[in-house]
Amino acid sequence: MTESKAMILGSSGPTLTADEIALYRDERPWGFILFARNCIEPAQISDLVAAMRDAVGRPEAAVLIDQEGGRVQRIRPPMIERYPSAAALGELYRQDRAKGLRAAWLMSRLHAFDLMKFGINVDCLPVLDVPVEGASNVIGDRAYGFDPKTVSDMGRAAAEGLKAGGMLPVMKHIPGHGRGMADSHHELPVVAASRAELEAHDFLPFMALKDELMAMSAHIVFTAIDPEEPATISRKVIEDVIRGHIGFDGLLMSDDTSMNALKGTIGERAARIVGGGCDIILHCNGVMEEMKAVVKEAIPLAGEALRRAEAVERAFGPGDGADESALRAEFHGLLAVS
């Protein structure tokens, strides 16, 4: 694998600018992430994905998107149908466990049909956060339910559906965003629950899916573990909880560097992400000056981080050859009777 830097970057619009191409070529991000601003029509999305990979000279480069369903769906009708939220699938699970699990698997398998056509190979799904009453709506209906068993079961089904289609999932937001009383896009949530409470509730879905190859961190302070730093930049949380207690040994990426839960300049945030022990810096908004600050702090993938990144690349595949129209009809039938 051509030496890559430990970062995933976005881009500003539907086509790459000359400056973006030059930055990618010179700084070699390991992967890319797409948002709605990048997704205007099908041929354009495919061309953009191909241009990103061409800029780094790596046809296997990871290209990510948040395509959850519900309110977090970056590619929308008419290009891709609108999918239900995780909470809607969770309600079906509560009515009929087998149907709920099948619906979660099917929706992810359909995401794979949708996204692989464009060359997108990573979906930032499943959301394994377990909300508590009164928590910020930033998770809300993005969660499958309010109990760890529902979230674990449905999250596993969703992850398996993506993998059946040749894509890979990203668990989020490890070790758990469900207790956050603030939206980490705008401010830093502080969770005062005891470690015992966290281990009995928030951490369980991540433990259940600890063998997945990728996870995204939570910009949340857990005062029982590290009262000073949010999980994303906390060596205590990453080593003791994520790698230790949860047992996750896959590729750990930060949540978005530009979210205001993190303090300091973009460069300072990126440096702390590296220093805390995340494998990959994620920067999403495509703002060139911010990306320039990130690339100064990003380091070449090496050691354990490189091993984890190579494991991800080996796991991409062609999919199971399933009949898309049959699975789509089955999914719509399940949702129609819910």
The pLDDT of residue 1: 46
Residue 260: per-residue pLDDT: 84
User: 122 is written with which tokens?
Assistant: 């990573």
The three-class DSSP label of residue 287 is coil
List the one residue out of 324, 270, 321, 313 whose CA is nearest residue 122: 313
Question: What distance in Å separates the CA atoms of residue 183 and residue 188, rounded to the nearest whole number?
Answer: 7
The reported pLDDT for the residue numbered 2 is 58
Q: What is the DSSP string of 44-83?
A: HHHHHHHHHHHHHT-TT-EEEE-EEETTEESS-TTTSPPP
Q: Where are the alpha helices (DSSP H) in the chain?
A: 18-27, 42-56, 86-95, 97-116, 148-164, 195-200, 204-208, 235-236, 266-276, 288-297, 303-315, 324-336
Q: DSSP secondary-structure letter at 140?
A: G
Using alpha carbons, select from 1, 28, 60 the residue that is nearest to residue 315: 60
- What does the pLDDT read at residue 336? 87
Q: Does the CA dihedral 274-225-194-213 come out positive or negative?
A: positive
185 is catalytic: yes
Predicted pLDDT at 184: 76
Going by C-alpha positions, the residue among 273, 161, 147 that lies closest to residue 200 is 147
How many angstroms separate the CA atoms of 142 and 72, rounded? 8
How deeply is 29 buried, as exposed, middle or buried, from its count of CB atoms within 10 A (0-12, 13-18, 19+)?
buried
- Residue type at position 111: H
One of 54, 96, 183, 185 is an active-site residue; which one?
185
> Do the Cβ atoms of 206 and 246 come closer than 8 Å?
yes
* CB environment 260-298: b (16+ within 10 A), e (fewer): ebbeeebbebbbbbbebbbbbbbbbbbeeebbebbbebb
* Catalytic residue, candidates 255, 256, 279, 283: 255
b/e 35-69 (16+ beta carbons within 10 angstroms → b):
beebbeeeeebebbbebbbebbebeebbbbbbbbb
Helix, strand, or coil here: 112?
helix
In SS3 terms, 142-188 reads as: HCCCCCHHHHHHHHHHHHHHHHHCCCEECEEEECCCCCCCCCCCCCC
Six-digit token string for 258: 């530009």
Of the candidates 323, 329, 335, the one whose C-alpha atom is nearest the C-alpha of residue 113 is 323
Per-residue confidence (pLDDT) for residue 186, from 0 to 100: 80
User: pTM for this structure?
Assistant: 0.97
* Cα dihedral 232→238→242→247 (10° resolution): 150
What interhelical angle do 148-164 and 97-116 show, nearest 10?
40
Mean pLDDT by 10 residues, the chain (338 residues): 88 98 98 98 98 97 97 96 97 98 98 98 98 87 97 98 98 95 83 97 98 97 96 97 98 94 94 97 98 98 98 96 98 85
